[in-house]
Amino acid sequence: MTLDSAVRIIALAPDLLGTYGDAGNVTVLAQRLRWRGFPTEVVEGIGRDVPDSGDIYVLGGGEDGPQALAAREMIESGALPRAVERGAVIFGVCAGYQLLGCSFLDTDDNVHAGLGLLDCTTVRGTGPRNVGEVVANIGTLLPGHVLSGFENHGGVTTVGGGATPLATIVAGNGNGDGSHTEGAWSGRVVGTYLHGPVLARNPDLADLLLEWVVGPSAPLADADATAEALRAERIQAAGGSRRRA
């Protein structure tokens, strides 16, 4: 195969959105492709220089200042709306999730425009930061799948009619707007508050994103036995924080 046929994963603004180990999501996607024999290329999208050739675009978490800068640069680049039109996959975590939405607020209550690729808006919560293990039942996107991850954010996100919440909270806070939901999705754009990294904890979700690019693949039973043991442990550990839901 030539390089042109490689699956291309774009790690978006890893310099601004890389605070919570979310680079691991790119590692997970790339490895699962390689293990299955797909030529895979990981490219960093820095500043306004975001490649138009990506199959999957991945955004991580970050702090307020860098998040606002990343949002400005991505809006100016225009690459992501074009990618959505092409049918590319967009996956955002925490700050990356917030900036896929219509708007978000920083610590000084300044409103920042988001990319508007997910119909959701984020404001600052009034209580303490939401920090801890999360367990949530994924809805129509992956029926029957339990989402496991670790949240650490002060945002409250409301999902509008143009998107669908990703999951229903069992333990933890997630979107935190009283709807007991976590994350959002629309078409091939998926956002979540969960770190972990979330795709390492939830290989089924990783494979769903990959399926949108390369079609259905055989499971990676050996690798995922390790992940399953971790999931079981973390889901049990989250039981103690169930009250917070």
Partner 1 sequence: MAATLASDRSSPRPPRRLRFAVPAARLARSLSRRLAHRDGAVIGGRVCLAVDPDAVAHLLVQHPTTVFVSATNGKTTTTALLTAAIERLMPVATNTTGANLPSGIVTALMDAEPGTTAVLEVDERYLPGVVAVATNPVALLLNLSRDQLDRMAEVRSIALRWRDAFAHDTTRVIANADDPLVAYAAPPERTVWVAAASRWRMDALSCPACTARVQYDGDDWYCTQCDLRRPKPDVTFTDTDVVLASGRRLALPTTLPGTHSRANAAFALAALELLGLPVDGASDAMATVTDVDGRYQHLWATDDASRLYLGKNPAGWAEILDVLAPVDRPLVIAVNGNDADGHDLSWLWDVPFERLAGRPVVATGERMRDLAVRLRYADVEHTAEPNLTRALAWARTARADVVGTYTAFQQIKRELRRDA
State the catalytic residues.
94, 195
Burial of 182 (0-12, 13-18, 19+ CB in 10 A): buried
56-59 and 89-93 beta bridge pairing: parallel
Nearer to partner 1, 21 or 116 (CB): 21
For the chain, the 3-state helix, strand and coil shares in percent, each to the nearest 5, are: 35, 30, 35
Taking the complex as a whole, the smallest distance from the CB of residue 132 to partner 1 amounts, in Å, to: 7
Under 8 Å between Cβ of 138 and 166: yes
Taking the complex as a whole, the smallest distance from the CB of residue 223 to partner 1 amounts, in Å, to: 6
Distance between CA 36 and CA 217 in Å, rounded?
A: 8
Residues of this chain that bind partner 1 (CB under 8 A): 15-16, 18-24, 27-28, 31, 46-47, 63, 65-66, 68-69, 131-133, 150, 152, 195-197, 200-201, 223, 226-227, 229-230, 233
DSSP, collapsed to helix, strand or coil, labels residue 111 as: strand
Taking the complex as a whole, the smallest distance from the CB of residue 30 to partner 1 amounts, in Å, to: 9
Nearer to partner 1, 16 or 90 (CB): 16
